[in-house]
Structure 1
């Protein structure tokens, strides 16, 4: 079910609040929008996610806000520059990214699940994960090897 979480970077300069559905399959609420992006968290092998170990779950704009440290965020874009990858300019942690893709229903935030502060180890262990082969632009299927993700 949709639940409110608080998160931050490593040094604590950046804080955010978000609403995510991290429940296991069968316990999740009906998503506001169609698409797999609203039914799971994601681990990807694209160049960005693989190097930063970004574990993303998507939030709608109404369910996300930076509560402190917006001035400490630095943005990085690459390739088509469609995704705003943000990181703390002090500690370098990547708490979230944002973009707008029609296929996903417009604007969204990709929250780094690893940056959530008020989630238990048991809850993290139960979060469903979908693996994406972003390295080969095959977003609809997992890579051959996922153990390292």
Structure 2
């Protein structure tokens, strides 16, 4: 367990959507690593602050059947939402498909407004779109 930004971040932290139809655990051995926002067209509208976990670091405990998948553009990233309350829970990343990004606001006992200033990733100029 660790205290970050005055919040207790557990190594395995429970999380849920707003209506609790979807509940999940996030494995956070090093706490909240690299929390950030993204300025791509989708994330800008979604407004969530995300952190990252490995693909085996998120375990859906309840409501897998309530998750809705949304994909756009290259259809590489997989964005998941609760079909009942509409809250974004997590996504499989486009820039690193071996990781999930997850909505920090879904973590029990964590207030993303307590994080202070959060860096913004340049998703408009996504690394996968840059010519080599």
If the TM-score is normalised by the length of the shorter chain, which range does it land in? 0.7 to 0.9
Q: Is the 8 A contact 1:5 1:118 kept in 2?
A: no
Matches within 5 A, 1:1-149: 3-20=11-28, 21-22=30-31, 39-99=33-93, 101=95, 104=96, 106-119=97-110, 121=111, 125-126=114-115, 129-137=118-126
Q: Is the 8 A contact 1:100 1:108 kept in 2?
A: no
Q: Please, what TM-score do these two structures have when normalized by structure 2? A: 0.76
Q: Is the 8 A contact 1:45 1:134 kept in 2?
A: yes
Q: RMSD of the TM alignment (CA)?
A: 2.5
Q: Measured at CA, do residues 100 and 45 of structure 1 come closer, stay the same or move farther in structure 2, by a change above 3 Å? A: closer
Gaps of 5+ in 1: 24-38, 140-149
Q: Is the 8 A contact 1:84 1:98 kept in 2?
A: yes
Q: How many residues align?
A: 119
Gaps of 5+ in 2: 3-9
Q: Please, what TM-score do these two structures have when normalized by structure 1? A: 0.69
